Structure 1
Amino acid sequence: MAIPSRTLNAFRRVEPILEVVDRYVSSTLRPWCDGHGYPFKGRKKEIASLSEKLESGRYARWSQVDDLYACTIVVPTATHEDRVLAFLGQAFQEVELRKRNSTQKASDVFRFDSTRFVGKIQHFPGLDLPEEAGQVQFEVQIPTAFEYAWAVVTHDLVYKTNDFDWRKQRLAALLKASVEQSELLISGFQANVEVVPQSPHPESDAKQKVVKVFRDLIDLGHISKQMEPASWSRFSDNFYALTKSYSGFRAAPDKAVELATAIKSKIEEEGGYADLMSGSLFQIVIGMVGAGIVPRATLDSFTVIDSVELRDFHNLERVPKPFDFDS
């Protein structure tokens, strides 16, 4: 692509500073994003894209260009935005904040509209950066995961093509409408759950009862709060897999409820787990099955992580099928 000489010269003058901005902003944001589980991507603007942007007539002067360097922080949902913006406000000098849905948009229009933070590097004593680096504005986009996927998928299909096609624009808008619909469902997830009709499903019903039994035991203080699993869904899956290993597919739902009920009764009657801080909640279940709390319930076909807690706290001296750590 041919580039006007003045645009090319101006870009070449600022390009070394963009490298500095890129390194500084990336080294500031990437570790923070990694620590919070947010995908991060940064890029310096390409000269071809910059030239076309300047030819749009939207900019009156070079200093108005705010995305010579731009980066993206992808958040799961829009509720995470405030945390990101709070960190950006501490790390950089805010120039402008364009919140999602703040630009004028007709009700029947669907386009990119994520929150964008425009900032500059703050100079402070000891910061070894060229003074020019603090004059470059950069943009941080904060799309949700769905918005980011839509932007990545449609960008090359619609904007980097050899033609202009109304149908492509239309399809991109339809996809964005689907994204907004998904976002609405997610933002009101808990409320929407209440209006979803539930069909009977023995396995799901059994897992729900298992979770209730153990949550109640923890809430009532019979089991230490420390033993609460990271994921109740995964705990119920593991519990159900254990009962299925000794009862088979058809009997598993009833056997899961039977085992949970038996464990509940024993713990309520005898206690012993209110001060337990080591191991996992599932090890309580393994110990109970190993002790024969339910007739014909065994560990013979279930792989168990053998550990000192099973012996010291649950009196399980031998695991029939121990997990192999390849050591």
Structure 2
Amino acid sequence: MKIASCIREIYKERFELYGILKKLVDEIIRSQKNDRWHFESRIKEELSYALKLETGRYSSPDIDDFYAATIVVEDYSKIDQALDLVSNNFEILIKRPTDNVFGKQKPWDFQFTDIRLVCQLGEKWSDKTGLCNLNFEIQIKTFLQHAWSIATHDLVYKSHSPNWALERVAYQLKSMLEHAELSILEAKTLGESKLLQRDHLDYRHIEECISIFHEFWDEKELPPDLKRLAENTSQFLKLYESSVGELRAALEAKKAELGGNLYLNISPFNTIIEALYSKDRAKFITCLDKLESKKRSLIIPNDVGPAVDGEICKRKCIVIVKQ
């Protein structure tokens, strides 16, 4: 497309200045954002800039998104954290959509409503001569919103001709993703629904294992991912053909043997291995047979009972780690 030479000159002047702005804003946001968030930015291309001026929405060559950045967060619950990051570092001139726009949105309307902030550097960066009065845009999205934008951008914005069917499909997808966002945000509430009040033996067994952990260990001695530890324990108990009640008895016996306290230098899982081995060595060896038949391994430290048992430490499924 032919672009007027005067527009090219204006673009060239702004490109250099906004390049400096981009480097600064990128550095500020990247250094402060949550590690799990995604961040990207761009400077508008010359052709896109020229087309935007032709929309008639601007009374001067200065547009709000010559430089634009996007912060992508896990879900809606993290939006306010991203807003705080922006407001603590920059001056927010305009926030879109505004509250009254949300109030006017029809129930069947799934148009673009991601948060867009028109910003300037503001007084905090007043030493950055020539940059402080430049407008730039920061969008804040969830990962699902961002995925929709990437997947449908060309369908909605870059088509050579209008296509009602393609845009219809794009916004149908947006409605489905909004429902997914709602389900993620309100998962705990939805989980209390009578429709979902069902159970499964595996889940009940894992919950019983978690109860055992709280019974024998302090919170600080347990991992943050307690569910994973419970799953590992539950799987081993099934191979061992032992109930949670039998595990409790084995741990109580080991605790009494050690003078009232369980091991502090090995993990809860390895303590369980030690307790079950001490309670019934023959049954423990039978469990190892099952492990080997399933081509599974048992990794244990070198100072627990099974590791110093001559017969057991030679088994293929046993991996001994020196402490």
- Measured against the shorter chain, the TM-score band is 0.7 to 0.9
C-alpha distance in 1, partners of 2:24/2:15?
Answer: 14
Change (3 A) 1:290 1:165: same
Match of 2:224 in 1: 230
C-alpha distance in 1, partners of 2:243/2:145?
Answer: 41
Where do residues 87-166 of structure 1 align in structure 2 (5 Å cutoff)? Answer: 87-98=85-96, 103=101, 104-122=104-122, 129=128, 131-166=129-164
Supply the AA of the counterpart residue of 2:148: W
Match of 2:275 in 1: 288
Could you say what the CA RMSD is over the residues aligned between the two structures, in angstroms?
Answer: 3.1
1:167-189 CA distances to partner (integer Å, 9 max, x unpaired)?
11111111111011111111211
Aligned partners of 2:36 and 2:74 also within 8 Å: no
C-alpha distance in 2, partners of 1:143/1:14?
Answer: 27
Aligned partners of 1:210 and 1:256 also within 8 Å: no
Match of 1:25 in 2: 25
Supply the AA of the counterpart residue of 1:239: T
C-alpha distance in 1, partners of 2:137/2:54?
Answer: 20
Where do residues 129-278 of structure 1 align in structure 2 (5 Å cutoff)? Answer: 129=128, 131-195=129-193, 196-215=195-214, 217=215, 222-244=216-238, 246-247=239-240, 255=242, 257-258=244-245, 260-262=247-249, 265-266=252-253, 271-273=260-262, 276=264
CA shift for structure 1 position 233: 2.3
Aligned partners of 2:297 and 2:319 also within 8 Å: yes
C-alpha distance in 2, partners of 1:90/1:293?
Answer: 62
Change (3 A) 1:205 1:50: same
Change (3 A) 1:272 1:174: same
CA shift for structure 1 position 82: 1.6
C-alpha distance in 2, partners of 1:295/1:265?
Answer: 20
C-alpha distance in 2, partners of 1:194/1:24?
Answer: 47
In our comparison, the structure showing a higher alpha carbon Rg is 2
C-alpha distance in 1, partners of 2:99/2:267?
Answer: 45
C-alpha distance in 1, partners of 2:175/2:297?
Answer: 46
Change (3 A) 1:265 1:58: farther
Match of 2:54 in 1: 55
Q: Secondary structure at the match of 1:109?
A: coil
C-alpha distance in 2, partners of 1:67/1:6?
Answer: 20
1:221-244 CA distances to partner (integer Å, 9 max, x unpaired)?
x42221222212212222133234
> Can you give the 5+ residue segments of structure 1 that lack an aligned partner in the other structure?
none
C-alpha distance in 1, partners of 2:211/2:281?
Answer: 19
Aligned partners of 1:92 and 1:120 also within 8 Å: yes
Aligned partners of 2:255 and 2:261 also within 8 Å: no
Higher strand share: 2
> Can you give the 5+ residue segments of structure 2 that lack an aligned partner in the other structure?
none
TM-score normalized by the length of structure 1: 0.80
Q: Secondary structure at the match of 2:117?
A: strand
C-alpha distance in 1, partners of 2:272/2:179?
Answer: 41
Supply the AA of the counterpart residue of 2:95: L
Aligned partners of 1:207 and 1:236 also within 8 Å: yes
Match of 1:303 in 2: 297
Q: Secondary structure at the match of 1:150?
A: helix
Q: Which moved more, 1:286-295 or 1:54-63?
A: 286-295
Q: Which moved more, 1:186-195 or 1:6-15?
A: 6-15
Change (3 A) 1:156 1:303: same
CA shift for structure 1 position 191: 0.8
C-alpha distance in 1, partners of 2:160/2:43?
Answer: 24
Supply the AA of the counterpart residue of 1:135: N
Match of 2:7 in 1: 7
C-alpha distance in 1, partners of 2:61/2:243?
Answer: 68
Where do residues 308-319 of structure 1 align in structure 2 (5 Å cutoff)? Answer: 311=303, 317-318=307-308
Tell me the matched-pair count.
Answer: 303
Aligned partners of 1:99 and 1:116 also within 8 Å: yes
Aligned partners of 2:247 and 2:276 also within 8 Å: no
CA shift for structure 1 position 37: 1.1
Percent pairwise identity: 23
CA shift for structure 1 position 153: 0.8
C-alpha distance in 2, partners of 1:165/1:113?
Answer: 21
Supply the AA of the counterpart residue of 1:322: V
